[in-house]
Amino acid sequence: MVMQKVDIAVVDYGMGNLRSVSQAVEHVASGKSVVVTSDAEIINNAERVIFPGQGAMPDCMRELEARGLRDVIINVAANKPFFGICIGMQLLFEHSEEGDTLGFGLLKGNVERFDAKKMFDVKGEKLKVPHMGWNQVFQTKSHPLWSGVADATRFYHVHSYYAAPQDNMVSAGETEYPNRFTSAVARDNIFATQFHVEKSAQAGLQLLANFINWKP
């Protein structure tokens, strides 16, 4: 039996905003096949892959292992257009302070927790952790996925941990809370965001539309 070629695979590993992500993708993927799946073969054969994320990094890695998807995701993230969202960005790095968890190591650097002792805005007001809400993303390099998205556009964030890349060249966007941190990364066939594109209205849809048409 010949497997049907899927244009976009949204990885189902038991976590993540699967419904909202798939609906957002379908909204901008006219004429493309979009499948939410945990099937390794479908993911491997898809033209491009979206890895949504929500929850804790240790749980995420455990669920991937349980489904036999860890090596599959590492392979597709190294070889085809790959979009990671939230935890889907963090796991690309070597290590996370959350549960002392090893990541995929596709990008050099670590994932660190916001330091509660340093979380004050310019007025001295205490900032909450997790970081929740709409914040500006400052584009740190030009990239096809930023096409049609103005610099300093607001995107929706929900997280207590942030990526600290070893190489600033992989950073594609930064957010201030209260200091600047990397909120988008890009290298070769990989683009990933700490913020939730599926919850970020028109700007998020524009990023997804750009990804669907991206030829890295």
Domain limits of the chain? 8-213
| Whole-prediction pTM | 0.96
* Catalytic annotation present for 86: yes
- The active-site residue out of 131, 157, 159, 196 is 196
Other Cβ atoms less than 10 A from the Cβ of 118: the count is 9
* Catalytic annotation present for 112: no
Which option is the CATH number for 8-213: 3.40.1390.30, 3.40.50.10680, 3.30.360.30, 3.40.50.880? 3.40.50.880
Which 8-state DSSP code applies to residue 23? H
- The active-site residue out of 86, 98, 131, 174 is 86
- Measured CA angle at 208 (ends 205, 211), to 5 deg: 150
For residue 136, the model assigns a pLDDT of: 98
User: Sorting pLDDT into bands at 50, 70 and 90, what band is 3?
Assistant: low
**Under a CB-based contact definition with an 8 Å cutoff, are residues 166 and 56 in contact?**
no
**Residues 99-115: what's their mean pLDDT?**
97
For residue 15, the model assigns a pLDDT of: 82
With the CA atoms of 95, 100, 101 and 102 taken in that order, what torsion angle do they form, in degrees rounded to the nearest 10? Answer: 40
* Catalytic annotation present for 198: yes
- The active-site residue out of 63, 98, 174, 198 is 198
Does 40 or 17 have the greater pLDDT score?
40
As a whole number of angstroms, the distance between CA 82 and CA 212 comes to 10
